[in-house]
Amino acid sequence: MSVAARGLSHSYGELQSLDRIDLAAADGEVVALVGPSGCGKSTLLEIVCGLRDPSAGAIEVGGAADAAGRLAHCAYMPQRDLLLPWFSALDNAALALRNRGAGKGEARREAGALFDRFGLAGFEAARPAELSGGMRQRVAFLRTLVAGKPVLALDEPFASLDAISRAEMQGWLAGALRAEARTAVLVSHDIEEALYLADRVVVLSSRPARIVAELRAPDPRAPDRDAAVTDPAFVAAREAALRALHAGASADPAHPAVPFAPTRRKRNSWRRGAR
């Protein structure tokens, strides 16, 4: 299933967040969005998922242009894992099935069948508070997959993890996507993560987000992550992306990369497990 957006703009009242964005993801393609903090990446992703409507422009997901249709096609993995603390890991993973009216036993069986593959075997009954950060992210990802939607919308899925678990989770997600290709839109503020996981990386400017560059990843989701990210082609792509990012961040002095207003800055601080 494909995603196609043309000329998307969006404002929160006076505050413009997106400026004429064109975005396309072919069937089975992974597209990453990178950009400065607070530039409008989450907003764009929420529009793709049908959680918001654009102020201008058109968007289609699998042929559906209305919000309800997009919502039906997209599975959204939010920036925070948002596991529900009153449910076990298994019941969290099975949420979509329960929401669609499946019985408890049936939903648990179906979601539980995937626990082994996600390295979560034995933790079915654990409450989210008893899981490590990496495991929580995996349960959140499993919950997204179990929804069985054709398009994945991932909002900084690993932003809250430390560098080591993060690399590990990236390798793991790459494996999952190799095993089962999905159309995905991935938000990241980590260029390396974007270039490793995605087929294509879209670099956004600071708010309001415009597209400043699009790069093709040299070797998406390579089995050997460490070798892939040190490959000269990868390093060159990363430098190109970094230059584009800096250019986009400083292109428009009316919208500085780091907002001066302290409240806004706090809201969008370069977070690591913020909140």
Partner 1 sequence: MRAVLRIVLPVALIAALIGLWQIAASTGWIAEALNLEPFLVPSPAEVGDAIWHNRTLLWENTWVTLREILIGLLAGIVVGLALAVAMRFSRILRDAVFPLTVAIQSVPVVVIAPILVVWFGYGITVKVIVVALAVFFPIVVNTLDGLRSVDPEAVKMMRTLDASRWAIFRRVEAPTALPAFFSGAKVAVAVAPIVALFAELAGSSSGLMRLIIQDNANLEIARMFGSVVILAVIGVLLVGLTALAQRLVITWR
Chain positions contacting ligand ATP, by CB under 6 A: 12, 15, 17, 35, 37-43, 79, 189, 207, 264, 267-268
* Cβ pair 151, 62 in contact under 8 A: yes
Helix (H, G, I), strand (E, B) or coil at 138: helix
* Cβ pair 250, 257 in contact under 8 A: yes
* Cβ pair 50, 70 in contact under 8 A: yes
Please give the Cα distance from 24 to 60 (Å, whole number).
Answer: 10
Q: Which does 260 bind (CB under 5 to 8 A by kind): ligand ATP, Mg ion, partner 1, none?
A: none
State the nearest-atom distance from the C-beta of 84 to ligand ATP, in Å. Answer: 22
Helix (H, G, I), strand (E, B) or coil at 244: helix
User: Residues interacting with Mg ion, by CB under 5 A?
Assistant: 42
Q: Which does 265 bind (CB under 5 to 8 A by kind): Mg ion, ligand ATP, partner 1, none?
A: none
Locus of tokens 């699009």: 214
Residues 67-86 interacting with partner 1 (rule: CB under 8 A): 71-72, 74-76, 78-80, 82, 84-86
Alpha helices in the chain (DSSP H): 41-49, 67-73, 89-93, 95-99, 104-112, 133-146, 163-179, 191-197, 225-230, 232-250, 262-267
Please give the Cα distance from 44 to 235 (Å, whole number).
Answer: 27
Residues 242-271 interacting with partner 1 (rule: CB under 8 A): none
Q: Which does 268 bind (CB under 5 to 8 A by kind): ligand ATP, partner 1, Mg ion, none?
A: ligand ATP
Residues 115-154 interacting with partner 1 (rule: CB under 8 A): 127, 129, 143, 147, 149, 153
* Cβ pair 209, 17 in contact under 8 A: yes
State the nearest-atom distance from the C-beta of 114 to ligand ATP, in Å. Answer: 28
Q: Which does 71 bind (CB under 5 to 8 A by kind): partner 1, ligand ATP, Mg ion, none?
A: partner 1
State the nearest-atom distance from the C-beta of 256 to partner 1, in Å. Answer: 27
Phi, psi of 181 (to 5 degrees): -65, 140
Q: Which is nearer to Mg ion, 157 or 220 (CB)?
A: 157
**Which residues bind to partner 1, rule: CB under 8 A?**
46, 49-51, 71-72, 74-76, 78-80, 82, 84-87, 95-96, 98-100, 127, 129, 143, 147, 149, 153
